[in-house]
Chains A and B, each alone.
Chain A
Amino acid sequence: MVKHAGAKRGQTGSSGRGRSVGTGCGQTGSSGRGRSVIRLGAVSLRFERRGLFVMVLLVLGILAVSLASLLIGDYGISFDEVLASFMGTATDRLVAFFVMDVRLPRIVAGILVGAALGVSGALFQTLSDNPLGSPDIIGFTKGAATGALVVIVVFSGGTVALSLGAIAGGLLTAALVYGLSWHRGAPGYRLVLVGIGIGATLGAVNSLLVVKAPLGNAEMAIHWMAGSLNASTWNEVALTGAVLAVLAAVVCWQYRALGAMAYGDDSAIVLGVRAERSRLILMFTGIMLMSMAISLAGPISFVALVAPHLIKRITRTAGTALVGAALMGSLLVVSSDLVARRIFAPNELAVGVVTGSLGGIYLIALLAFEWRRRRQ
């Protein structure tokens, strides 16, 4: 079983390679090894060299995959043509159209969606103090999908209405899950189990909505449910990007509080954090992030779960690596989308299917290793 982070807290620093999956555990930083400090007058910035290195690699990876996505496709485009399209000097207008209005918005959408899901997953995993407490396991994703489906099926709404529906669905589901799992104090594992049950119920409701929809809406609903970046346009991307920027600012504002809360509410309060208020703000932000991603691309599963896990394994950092989780999420979604586009070309797979299967394999591997270690 995936380890309970709380049980690991006593072993800070001593945890060896690959043992830092859990939230809020890791090195205390007393050794100061592997860290560098930049001082510019009064401002100083401390960072971990390994983490920085990994992030640079991730950015390079995202750029490389994005470039590959621009070049590869049913309609082959050369590197020079891509450059020319960027400069606005492309002679072939069809090429320029494919690069600027079909492939590029899709890539940007993938990056935004991945980053939003990664950060949202990291937030929830920290706040629920549970590596499984990510929105796709505890049913929030299904709830947001229900909200969006109601908008599609009942009101035939447009982009903005869809986003609002997803947010409303996500918030209501979160309220329901927390309300049902609250039993004098922090809900802990019960939160995950209640979330799983609510998620299963909402999944059935979603199927019901799709079946009950009138024919035209049902097609749209089914297509949307699979999770695809296929139809991303600049308008949608711009809208989502603007909202995500605001949410990112909120997360930065509360970043310090989040770091403190990773060690438990009591420690956070001692450190001068208003834990309850910060928790509410961060939770609201996490739900908004996830809902925006879902309204742009449909339910893309497992990214919110896997991205924070992976980044922690690779960087071996303490606390929550939000930037890393965002980059890792982007890389996962963009490369999954490339795979989804090309693996059965010319037929296109939904990106949600690819992330779902990759995430599923990762989860099974994680459980298997966990089991083997427990046997020892």
Chain B
Amino acid sequence: MRIVRKLAREPFRARMNVSPGEAVSSAPPFKRNRLRWFSLIGVCVVLLSAVLFSLSFGSKDIALGQAWVLLFFPDGSVASTVLHELRVPRTHMALVVGSALGVAGALMQSLTRNPLADPGILGINAGASLAVVLSVALTGMGSIRIYLWFAFLGAALASVGVYLLGAAGRQQVTPTRLALAGVAISAALSALTEAVVLANQVVFNEFRLWVAGSLEGRSYDILLTVLPFIALGLLLALALAPALNALALGVEKGRSLGVNVRRTQVLTITAVTLLCGAATAAMGPVGFVGLAVPFLARGLVGSDQRWVFVLSVLLGMAWLLYADVIARVIVRPEEIQVGIVAALIGAPFFVALVRRRKIPAL
């Protein structure tokens, strides 16, 4: 186990097959660490700006300074009410769900060693939403306490399915093939979801926004219901980081380093299920967040999963908040669903990733 910890600290060296003493990177270790801390601070600043924008922009703008003051000293004015009744809950929701989606993407990418893995692209969100829609159609009840469990069930089935497609079997599956399988699954599941929704229009009257992914009008009740599960998922992800670091060397090497491969896989899928199921139950299927966020995080801090997860939490929050701000201002005074904006900015990112000559396996 000690060597695993050592590797967890220096996965980059281990991957280059260099013994820990030798210098491999152009940046010496202390500089590398300092860069990571700088990135962390930078991302925090970006996140803070996103929170401020989210409080300030909307169908009725509140000046940044005024929003800041009203946040701590509510004065009963219209602006203050809007801020505390609408914008603050919405921002909380985006923070929680965004972190879940970002880390779920990072977990999937690390487990499948595939930079194209994303809960949206691989159909996990679609599985969760199909299960939710089915449960609402069958029981006629739209309570999050009931359909949250269906969301977990759907997400679990979809993640196991995708993982079997992607990682089982004799030959190593290329990133491309896994992505194609995921896209096929997710297209199929969303078509089924659409069918159920269109066939039960009355039941889904209040669900229309949810189907495309929306943060509008989500109550604290919903937030508090999903919060424990997302927190559990995030903790699980952090606890799994060292094992995933070792598995990044390949299953065989990971096993020889003392990692219980099967347990790691099961726990990772559990964490992904918790995060995606809860996020989808809360705001509907939103894709492409988990694709871009881990990619950016790796670009900033390298391949150490512990850092990648921490940064994915922050970047996921910021990404979703910015998407939500754009969704609010792009068709003022109306607003569109955040899922649409997430696809609008995330899908070109996917194209750019795919266009690179060779998609490297992680």
Contacts and interface: CB of A to CB of B under 8 A. Distances in A.
Contacts of A207: 212, 336-337, 340
A197 B351 contact: yes
A301 interface: yes
A197 B347 contact: yes
A354 B194 CA distance: 10
B263 interface: no
B355 A367 contact: no
B348 A367 contact: no
Interface string B139-170: 00000000000000000000000001100111
Interface stretch (B176-184, B239-247, B313-321): B176-184
A147 interface: no
A132 B184 contact: yes
Interface string B180-192: 1101110111111
A350 interface: yes
A136 to B, nearest CB: 8
A354 B192 CA distance: 9
A61 interface: no
B355 A194 contact: yes
Interface string B311-348: 00000000000000000001100101100110110111
Contacts of B185: 363-364, 367
A343 B195 CA distance: 12
A153 to B, nearest CB: 12
Nearest to A132: B180
Interface string A171-213: 0000000001101000001101110111011011101100110
A188 to B, nearest CB: 9
Contact of B351 (A1, A194, A343, A354): A194
Given A350-B198, A356-B194, A200 B347 contact: yes
A354 B168 contact: no
A363 B187 CA distance: 9
Given A359-B188, A360-B187, A208 B340 contact: yes
Interface residues of A, number: 44
Nearest to A196: B183
A194 B352 CA distance: 8
Contacts of A354: 195
Given A189-B176, A193-B176, A353-B198, A203 B343 contact: yes
B288 interface: yes
B25 interface: no
B2 to A, nearest CB: 37
A11 interface: no
A256 B176 CA distance: 32
Nearest to A176: B351
Interface residues of B, number: 47
A374 B172 CA distance: 11
A180 B351 CA distance: 8
B180 A193 contact: yes
B138 to A, nearest CB: 15
Contacts of A208: 330-331, 336, 340, 344
B262 interface: no
Contacts of A193: 116, 176, 179-180, 350, 354
Given A201-B344, A353-B194, A190 B169 contact: no
A354 B199 CA distance: 10
B188 A364 contact: yes
A344 interface: yes
* Most chain B beta-carbon neighbours within 10 Å: one of A189, A204, A302, A364: A204
A361 B343 contact: no
B287 interface: yes
12 contacts: A1-B178, A2-B180, A189-B176, A194-B355, A197-B347, A197-B351, A201-B347, A207-B337, A349-B195, A360-B188, A374-B169, A374-B170
Interface of B: 116, 164-165, 168-171, 173, 176-181, 183-185, 187-192, 194-195, 198-199, 212, 287-288, 330-331, 334, 336-337, 340-341, 343-344, 346-348, 350-351, 354-355, 357
Given A1-B181, A356-B192, A359-B191, 20 more contacts: A1-B177, A1-B178, A137-B187, A181-B354, A183-B355, A190-B354, A193-B116, A196-B179, A207-B212, A207-B336, A208-B336, A211-B331, A211-B334, A301-B191, A353-B195, A357-B195, A361-B192, A363-B184, A367-B181, A367-B185
Q: Which 8 A-B pairs have the closest CB atoms?
A: A360-B188, A356-B191, A197-B351, A200-B347, A204-B343, A201-B347, A197-B350, A204-B344
